[in-house]
Structure 1
Amino acid sequence: MTATPRTDALMRRGAEFLGSRHAILCGAMSWVSERNLVSAISNAGGFGVIACGAMTPALLDAEIAATRALTEKPFGVNLITMHPDLFALIATCATHKVSHVVLAGGIPPKGSVEALKEAGAKVICFAPTLALGKKLLRSGADALVIEGMEAGGHIGPVSTSVLAQEILPELAGDNLVFVAGGIGRGEAIAGYLEMGACGVQLGTRFACASESIAHPNFKKAFFRASARDAVASVQVDPRLPVIPVRALRNKGTEAFTAKQLEVARALDEEGIAMGEAQLQIEHYWAGALRRAVIDGDVEGGSLMAGQSVGMVNEEEPVTDIISALLSQSEAALVRR
């Protein structure tokens, strides 16, 4: 790998925090960020993160053990805060002495950050606003990820560039802040590092790596797609706590609209709680994503992708992806 001293210097804080050679996190993608891709990213000098998603504690236990058999490098686990077995999953991470845990999908419930820190794990949280970022840091988060709406999967309403301008000048001087959402090339990485970010997170760029177990049909859909094909889902009922999801437009996108109507009717007719409604939506996404990633159903499944999908044109080894990103970042910094 070509030497990248300027990029390495700007990433040093993040790399030391993660225990990796480079401060490049892989975004946790359900069904994609599993043992093979996670270990490959960590072995290549990045920081792989297992996507727990809807896993049971037993499944997560097996996945962590299998990942550790493939790499001696550090890796993390992403836990969804609304998971009904969150504290059991935290206990599983503690049993395996997982070094870093990413809490995603909402504000961490009371006691979760404390439980992770008691187990010796570093805690990374998502901060969609400056105010929430400050609150999370006060509550014990060791680092933040600010992710813009260009990202794939569940997204917020604000772009990465705006979040970076709002949050990095305020927090990055004294805290560890990673930037995510829409990053597909190293020039963008260089820009965020110069603004004060300690590192970056990418998901879509790694989804079609050679080491990714995603179905060939899933990967081909990415190769054919442009940025404008990755669209955000719409909320059909204001009562439903539906977080928008960015994915490639297909029949599955239309099916999600129908699923929302079905859940809304259940709220009216069966009196189910809002929490149950949210879980039904999340289970829908888990199943739809599996159909696309594992079964190759690119019409009816969910093709979660960020707008950087237009920069994913071929299957490449993780080492080549990371090397290209670092070389592009270094060249940009040299030109400056």
Structure 2
Amino acid sequence: MRSMTLYPKTHELMRRGAEFLGTEHAILCGAMSWVSERNLVAAISNGGGFGVIACGAMTPDLLDAEIAATKELTDKPFGVNLITMHPDIFDLIEVCKKHGVTHVVLAGGIPPKGSVEAIKAFGAKVIVFAPTIALAKKLFRSGADALVIEGSEAGGHIGPVSTSVLAQEFLPALAEDHLVFVAGGIGRGEAIAGYLEMGAVGVQLGTRFACATESIAHPDFKKAFFRANARDAVSSVQVDARLPVIPVRALKNKGTDEFTAKQREVAALLDSNSVEMMEAQLQIERYWAGALRRAVIDGDVENGSIMAGQSVGMVKQEEPAAEIIAGLMAESEAALARR
């Protein structure tokens, strides 16, 4: 493997993560709806990292086509990210089984009963997220193979605690016995080196890959990233306590204000008893899916949702995914060599 000679220190610290993923480098791509599709996923896997298809709101048929198309572009391992609240999650798991997907990432909440078992039954590995150590341990006991801890600096749906604090809490408690990846706000290799030294087996990045040359995101979406600073990536505000909305980090624009208005509208429907809570929350999720598509695919950077993490200030130009990965590895190696 090239990396053993080029990046020996980083490679040694990533060894467990890379072996688990079946990749050269233990660098996962965060699943970004509309962005993490066949082209970017294949480019990241071909570049030595681990691409992950963002299933998002896809139907089983759409996921079926996406996995097949990704396989046409790479023979390297890649994963599929499934949202735990998707109404067709068990059908989506069947699609993953049909294609022999090696790793399934379950995101967006506690996995529904039987889902982990259904994935393990066809030999795939299960990667989960957890906001607390207690839940992480429970998920490991339930069969999860690896954990991603993701701090609030990340783009898209986020939790309330920063990556640096989560790493200090989770890694000493879990890293010896379990595979833990760190995500949220990682933009350079020096940060990767630090988390690896703390016991992480690898990292996950989304924002750095969103503007890769192979990303199908609209040129105007990418330009918005290049212009932005860390402080422009803001977290959404929850308007009504009865409508618990997972905050979303995106670049501030008219769309972020429109989301606040959308929440007020749905809260009013709740007030008048004209909508059930589950339907209210689904309306919010559908809103996000549409707003994100408007920005990524249509290039409407005023009204769409430009989901981005705080590391957006480190994204200055388009680069091939393989070069982004090589740059991160070189920075990590240089940092470890200085120790």
Counterpart code for 2:11: D
RMSD between aligned alpha carbons?
0.8
- How far 1:63 moved relative to its partner? 0.2
Give the Cα separation in 1 of the matches to 2:123 and 2:142.
16
Residue 81 (structure 1) aligned with residue 84 (structure 2): yes
Residues 64-107 of structure 1, C-alpha deviations (whole Å, 9 max, x = no match): 00000100000000000001111111111111110000000000
Residues 214-249 of structure 1, C-alpha deviations (whole Å, 9 max, x = no match): 000000000000000000000000000200000000
Give the Cα separation in 2 of the matches to 1:193 and 1:50.
25
Give the Cα separation in 1 of the matches to 2:159 and 2:186.
16
Q: Output the TM-score relative to the length of structure 2.
A: 0.98
- How far 1:270 moved relative to its partner? 3.9
Judge conservation of contact 1:241–1:274 (CA < 8 Å) in 2.
Answer: no
Q: 1:12 aligns with which of 9, 15, 39?
A: 15
Residue 156 (structure 1) aligned with residue 155 (structure 2): no
- How far 1:276 moved relative to its partner? 1.3
- How far 1:130 moved relative to its partner? 1.0
Residues 119-140 of structure 1, C-alpha deviations (whole Å, 9 max, x = no match): 2110000011111111111111
Give the Cα separation in 2 of the matches to 1:137 and 1:152.
25
Residue 247 (structure 1) aligned with residue 250 (structure 2): yes
Please show how residues 238-317 of structure 1 align to structure 2 within 5 Å.
238-317=241-320
Partner in structure 2 of residue 190 of structure 1: 193
Residue 145 (structure 1) aligned with residue 145 (structure 2): no
Partner in structure 1 of residue 183 of structure 2: 180
Partner in structure 1 of residue 53 of structure 2: 50
Counterpart code for 2:135: L
Look up the SS of the partner of 1:69 in the other structure: helix
Give the Cα separation in 1 of the matches to 2:267 and 2:87.
21
Counterpart code for 1:214: A
Give the Cα separation in 2 of the matches to 1:275 and 1:137.
28
- How far 1:172 moved relative to its partner? 0.5
Look up the SS of the partner of 2:73 in the other structure: coil
Q: 2:71 aligns with which of 36, 56, 68?
A: 68
- Structure 1: 5+ residue stretches without partners: none
Residue 220 (structure 1) aligned with residue 219 (structure 2): no
Residue 115 (structure 1) aligned with residue 149 (structure 2): no
Q: 1:129 aligns with which of 112, 128, 132?
A: 132
Q: Output the TM-score relative to the length of structure 1.
A: 0.99
Residues 171-193 of structure 1, C-alpha deviations (whole Å, 9 max, x = no match): 00010000000000000000000
- Structure 1 residue ranges (4+ consecutive) displaced by more than 6 angstroms after TM superposition: none
Give the Cα separation in 2 of the matches to 1:277 and 1:92.
29
Judge conservation of contact 1:225–1:310 (CA < 8 Å) in 2.
Answer: yes
Give the Cα separation in 2 of the matches to 1:196 and 1:276.
41
Look up the SS of the partner of 1:14 in the other structure: helix
Residues 292-313 of structure 1, C-alpha deviations (whole Å, 9 max, x = no match): 0000000000000000000000
Counterpart code for 2:299: G
- How far 1:274 moved relative to its partner? 1.7
- How far 1:271 moved relative to its partner? 3.8
Counterpart code for 1:22: H
Counterpart code for 1:180: A
Q: 2:234 aligns with which of 231, 235, 248?
A: 231
Partner in structure 1 of residue 93 of structure 2: 90
Counterpart code for 2:298: D
Judge conservation of contact 1:156–1:243 (CA < 8 Å) in 2.
Answer: yes
Select between 13-22 and 129-138 the one with higher mean Cα deviation: 129-138
Give the Cα separation in 2 of the matches to 1:320 and 1:273.
48
In the alignment of these two chains, the number of paired residues is 336
Give the Cα separation in 2 of the matches to 1:218 and 1:293.
6
Counterpart code for 1:12: R
Look up the SS of the partner of 1:200 in the other structure: strand
Judge conservation of contact 1:205–1:308 (CA < 8 Å) in 2.
Answer: yes
Residues 6-58 of structure 1, C-alpha deviations (whole Å, 9 max, x = no match): 00000000000000110000000000000000000000000000000000000
